[in-house]
Amino acid sequence: AQTVTQSQPEMSVQEAETVTLSCTYDTSESDYYLFWYKQPPSRQMILVIRQEAYKQQNATENRFSVNFQKAAKSFSLKISDSQLGDAAMYFCAYRSASGNQFYFGTGTSLTVIP
Amino acid sequence: NAGVTQTPKFQVLKTGQSMTLQCAQDMNHNSMYWYRQDPGMGLRLIYYSASEGTTDKGEVPNGYNVSRLNKREFSLRLESAAPSQTSVYFCASSRDFQPYNEQFFGPGTRLTVL
């Protein structure tokens, strides 16, 4: 079975600095999709960024970018110019190409220090 | 445009009681999902409905049933609640079942089973 591991339960970053959240996953599939979701204190999950496994180019969305290493099965999230509003729980997620398997990691709680 | 709405927001049940969690979306999405979130764990998929008229089991379906009432609504039923079902439940929807599609989440229902 596929698993998603986030080894950093908590991280902190100074406002305006850069932070990287780690995620590794285990799969025997060659095609799949990876996501980072943000869950602020309000609890509602929001998509931050996504990556298709067959695309070698790393995805970027404004201040958010990923470092996707397919061979290492690693999918880290980099947040640049951190803002107070970035404080949240961040979940890494894996979805199979068939779509019927969707696995989340245990999350990383990010604190932004003013 | 309310997005994904869930009712109730909070619920306390006694062991053995039944209840139905309601979910509705107004984005004309074809696919809907139910997840549970437990402390220290990521979201786990309970059931999903790839399109109106279809439902399928996810990772943790035992003890639950679902109904895709129409395109907008997808309910989750606990027939005989158990303390192990104490959790936060999230409903989500996506445009269709393509694995790349963003899922939009509701605000969650916090359920406690005594």
Contacts of B102 in chain A (CB under 8 A): 47, 50
The answer to whether residue B15 scores a pLDDT higher than 80 is: yes
The answer to whether residue B91 scores a pLDDT higher than 70 is: yes
Distance from CA of A109 to the nearest CA of B (A): 11
Contacts of A33 in chain B (CB under 8 A): 99-100
The answer to whether residue A104 scores a pLDDT higher than 90 is: yes
pLDDT of residue B40: 81
Query: Chain A within 8 Å of B98 (Cβ-Cβ)?
Result: yes
**Region of residue A4 (phi > 0: left; psi between -120 and 50: alpha; otherwise: beta):** beta
To test the contact with chain B by mutation, choose from A5, A45, A89 the residue with the greatest count of B C-beta atoms within 10 A, namely A45
The string of DSSP letters for B4-49 reads EEEE-SEEEE-TT--EEEEEEE-S--SEEEEEEE-TTS-EEEEEEE
Looking at residue A68, what DSSP letter applies? E
B58 vs A43: CB contact, 8 Å cut-off?
A: no
Q: Give the mean pLDDT of chain B.
A: 95
Rounded Cα distance, B22 and B89, in Å: 11
* Residue B48 CB coordination number (10 Å): 25
